[in-house]
Amino acid sequence: MCICGNEFDFSKCCEPIITKQKQAKTPLELMRSRYSAYVLANGEYLVYSSAQHNRYADDITLIEEFSRSVEWLRLDILHVKGNTVEFKAYYRDNDGIQVLHEKSNFIQEEGEWKYADGTLYNAKVERNLNCPCGSGKKYKKCCA
């Protein structure tokens, strides 16, 4: 299973995109590869896969520091429509399990999909859903 939660092995799913051996064919593929890059703390790829207007080399270190400071748990794809992917990414930090809920927009630049921008939503882990840690228990009976 890939880091992004896809059923394919990492070497056949996100790794070729992150290592630039192949291009993401869809916004969803790019979204999945970007999540995997966060798990791997690969700030260089995350900046590279951003649209030109959002690409800042200074962000590489900040991304890598954040990514290494948390434990990434899971990616849930909620909705895909056209160039937009809505997702929830779960991670654990010093304050417990957090959720990043975003609707991301993607554009093509020179034939490649790039992350353009996104809308963040206030979100928390729902008490009655399965715990993002993967225990199989309800969140309220596990990590809450």
Q: Residue 15: inside a domain, yes or no?
A: yes
- Please tell me the predicted confidence (pLDDT) of residue 141: 86
Task: State the total domains in the chain.
Answer: 1
Whole-number pLDDT of residue 122 = 92
CATH of the domain at 119: 3.10.450.50
The per-residue pLDDT for 93 is 94
Low-confidence ranges of the chain (pLDDT < 50): none
Instruction: Tell me the pTM.
Output: 0.92
pLDDT tens string 99-118 = 999 999 999 999 999 999 99
Residue 90: which domain range?
10-141
CA–CA separation, 18 vs 31, rounded Å?
11
Q: Which two tokens stand for residue 67?
A: 């990514």
pLDDT at 117: 97
Separation of alpha carbons 136 and 44, rounded Å? 34
The per-residue pLDDT for 15 is 98
